[in-house]
Amino acid sequence: MTSLDVAVERLMSGEADALADANETWRRLREEAPVYDYGPITILSRYEDVRAAFRSPHMSKNQYVEGSWTEELRARLPEQSRTILTELRSFEAMYVTRSSGEDHIRRRRVAHRAFTPRRIAELADEIQGYTDMLVAELLEQDTPDFMQFAYELPLMAITSMLGMPKVDRERVRGWAGKLLVNLGAADPATLQECYDVIMELREYVRSAIEANRRTDERTHLVSTLMAAEEEQRLSEDELAAIYANFIAAGFETTMNLIGVGFLELLRHPDQWRLLCEDPQRRAPNAVEELLRYVSPAQWSLGLPVVDLEFNGHTVPAGRTIFVILAGANRDPDVFSDPERLDIERPNARDHLGLGFGPHFCLGSSLARIEGVIAFRTLAQRFPHAELAEGPIEWGSGSALRRPRRLPVHLGHAGSVPALN
Ligand code: HEM
């Protein structure tokens, strides 16, 4: 094994030290082996290749049902778990994220209706309200754990968007965690847990729809989705899959943007001061730069249906491809001085942090508005914020790495400290 093999192995297994050093490993991959074979998968880490994979009409999203990676996983499982895996994955195959071709177009079109500009504007008002409330909670503590804020805000936003009552928020948190663990699950217990979540979610959506049928006060999302069902463009299971997909795709990603984003801003006090000087104007580009620099979703995957060539290497049909967004987002061929956080970077918006092409993030407007409101408000309220001393322990796996805790000193509210 080469030292690069060891670094990749440690990162992919989610070891804390390797997660802390993830950007170094992605850099090595980009420079030393931009098309890298790792067991049953091929990893792409250069911007050009990642973008080409995203836009290729020959990449399917069925990688959780078939292809080299899933086949290897299936072979390792006992017979009974294989059946659970098949059922679980056939439900998840109805996610927009995992659909291809005509099914993808149809499901995406319906799911898209959840994000009309009017609905986003309504949600923005709610998100500002939640942010102010969470800021007030931060003010009550000496050294708050900022990850708590980073987790609460997207949880409130996603449950509002899904039209779920407050009492169900913790359920959503539990569901999200389990749905995501399943991303690379190879053990029967995790698969069973995830299967149970899906069953619970299906039931939840079914009763939400039932409840909505009996009343005129339909929540926005449920009525939008029900209209599609009534026009026979979606089945009830497909509706449940859209719910599950929003929870799996929209919660922990946004949590990372806010949590790791704040960490990086405080690690770069010059950039934090710059933002604090004019939060209203600078927050939108700062969020783009953080989507690039942090890459809240570090990687994604796909399955070539024909042999595809990347950077002179052929990846055969059926071999699962991992695309490293975090590698692409720091590619010096596209971003000058890529290791530098620069909230005024002119081409920050060229990042691939929200994907690219036909599967470009459906929740991008919600993710962006959450980021802008969070960082704008934090910069207005806490210009003296600093990281508390002590090491940061990373966790939660290679796809969604983030600190387990993020103790901060928020300092007194007030004017922006002078640049020195
Ligand atoms: C900072 C936050 C977010 C990040 C970094 C992020 C990232 C991504 C990425 C990289 C993709 C493309 C995946 C691929 O092609 O394999 C994607 C797709 C998607 N995202 Fe997001 N996302 C975020 C927030 C959200 C939110 C808030 C929602 C919904 C509430 C959402 C829903 C979706 C859906 C449904 C797709 C699938 C689109 C399709 O396949 O056509 N995302 N996201």
Question: HSE-up of 259 (CA within 13 Å, CB side)?
Answer: 31
Cα gap 341→145, rounded to integer Å: 23
- Taking the centre of ligand 1 as the mean of its atom positions, its distance from the CA of residue 254, in whole angstroms, is 10
Residue, of 219 and 310, whose pLDDT is higher? 310
pLDDT at residue 271, rounded to an integer: 98
- Taking the centre of ligand 1 as the mean of its atom positions, its distance from the CA of residue 253, in whole angstroms, is 8
Mean pLDDT (the chain) is 91
Nearest C-alpha neighbor of 13 from the set 397, 399, 403: 397
Strand partners, 299: 324
Indicate whether residue 108 lines ligand 1 (CB < 6 A).
Answer: yes
The continuous run of DSSP H or E covering 92 comes out as: helix 79-92
- Taking the centre of ligand 1 as the mean of its atom positions, its distance from the CA of residue 363, in whole angstroms, is 6
pLDDT at residue 177, rounded to an integer: 74
pLDDT digits (tens, 9 = 90+) for 381-409: 999 999 999 999 999 889 999 999 999 99
Query: Does residue 419 surpass a pLDDT of 60?
Result: no
pLDDT at residue 166, rounded to an integer: 85
Query: Does residue 147 surpass a pLDDT of 50?
Result: yes
Instruction: Name the 3-class secondary structure at 408.
Output: strand
* 115-141 exposure pattern, b = at least 16 Cβ within 10 A, e = fewer: beeebbeebbeebeebbeebbeebeee
Indicate whether residue 296 lines ligand 1 (CB < 6 A).
Answer: yes
In degrees, to the nearest 5, what angle opens at C-alpha 289 toward C-alphas 120 and 349? 70
- Taking the centre of ligand 1 as the mean of its atom positions, its distance from the CA of residue 245, in whole angstroms, is 9
Share of the chain above pLDDT 70, in %: 94
Phi, psi (5° rounding) for residue 37? -90, 125
Residue, of 48 and 397, whose pLDDT is higher? 48
pLDDT digits (tens, 9 = 90+) for 58-106: 999 999 899 999 999 899 888 888 998 898 888 989 999 999 999 999 9
Query: Does residue 182 surpass a pLDDT of 80?
Result: no
Neighbours of 110 (CB within 10 A): 20
pLDDT at residue 161, rounded to an integer: 87
- Out of 361, 369, 372, give the residue to mutate to test ligand 1, the one with the largest number of ligand atoms within 8 Å of its CB: 361
pLDDT digits (tens, 9 = 90+) for 95-134: 999 999 999 999 999 899 888 898 899 999 999 999 999 9
Atom of ligand 1 nearest to the CA of 358: 41
At 416, the pLDDT band (50, 70, 90 cuts) reads low
Q: At what angle do helices 236-250 and 188-213 cross, to 10 degrees?
A: 120
